[in-house]
């Protein structure tokens, strides 16, 4: 059985130093390749200098390591979790940006064809022109306020 993820809005920011909740710490023995995980340290807890520290965030499942390209997503219940940049790009799109060009063209076409008066003689008068522009903006979901008519 297949499922589709429900469309929900989430907040997301790409990781920058300072967004971590703590660090995954590794004891170093002779070099970075010879390190052993020793646990997570909260951001406010001093980390011994002999430990290599990797940024991490606290999730519902515990701490998860994060890297420079990861996105930190805040879900609908306030939970945070990391997401690799490649997966984020395939899964999410901006919700507050303009519509995609193909979608915008389709909305314009449907709006134009759905209005018989507009399709018959769209710009034969100034009023027809204004109605045409208004109809297209409405179809795209663009609202212009505070303009003197």
Together in a domain, 37 and 86: yes
Could you report the per-residue pLDDT of 59-97, keeping only the tens digit for each?
999 999 999 999 999 988 889 999 999 999 998 888 765
Per the structure, the complete domain to which residue 130 belongs is given by 101-140
Mean pLDDT is highest, among 2-6, 68-72, 135-139, for 68-72
Q: What per-residue confidence (pLDDT) applies to 149?
A: 45
Together in a domain, 117 and 83: no
97 against 50, higher pLDDT: 50
Together in a domain, 105 and 79: no
Instruction: Provide the 10 A C-beta neighbour count for residue 135.
Output: 18
Instruction: Quote the pTM value.
Output: 0.57
Question: Does 30 reside within a domain?
Answer: yes
Together in a domain, 83 and 136: no
Q: What per-residue confidence (pLDDT) applies to 119?
A: 45
Together in a domain, 46 and 83: yes
The predicted model gives 94-113 an average pLDDT of: 66
Question: Does 122 reside within a domain?
Answer: yes
Together in a domain, 80 and 15: yes
Question: Does 149 reside within a domain?
Answer: no
Question: Does 112 reside within a domain?
Answer: yes
Question: Does 1 reside within a domain?
Answer: no
Q: What per-residue confidence (pLDDT) applies to 25?
A: 92
Together in a domain, 31 and 58: yes
Could you report the per-residue pLDDT of 32-44, keeping only the tens digit for each?
567 888 999 999 9
Phi, psi of 99, rounded to the nearest 5 degrees: -65, 155
Together in a domain, 108 and 53: no
Question: Does 3 reside within a domain?
Answer: no
Indicate if the pLDDT at residue 14 is higher than 90.
Answer: yes
**Inter-helix orientation angle 101-114/126-140, to 10°:** 130
Together in a domain, 31 and 80: yes
Together in a domain, 37 and 87: yes
Question: Does 147 reside within a domain?
Answer: no
Question: Does 148 reside within a domain?
Answer: no
């Amino acid at each position: 059985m297949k499922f589709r993820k429900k469309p929900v809005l989430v907040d997301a920011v790409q990781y920058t130093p300072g967004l971590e909740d703590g660090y995954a710490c590794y004891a170093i023995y002779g070099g970075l390749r010879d390190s052993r995980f020793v646990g997570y340290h909260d951001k406010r807890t001093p980390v011994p200098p002999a430990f290599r520290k990797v940024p991490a965030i606290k999730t519902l499942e515990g701490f998860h390591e994060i890297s420079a390209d990861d996105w930190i997503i805040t879900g609908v219940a306030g939970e945070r979790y990391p997401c690799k940049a490649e997966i984020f790009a395939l899964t999410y799109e901006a919700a507050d940006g303009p519509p995609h060009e193909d979608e915008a063209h389709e909305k314009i076409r449907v709006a134009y064809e759905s209005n018989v008066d507009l399709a018959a003689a769209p710009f034969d008068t100034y009023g027809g022109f204004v109605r045409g522009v208004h109809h297209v903006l409405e179809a795209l979901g663009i609202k212009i306020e505070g303009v003197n008519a």
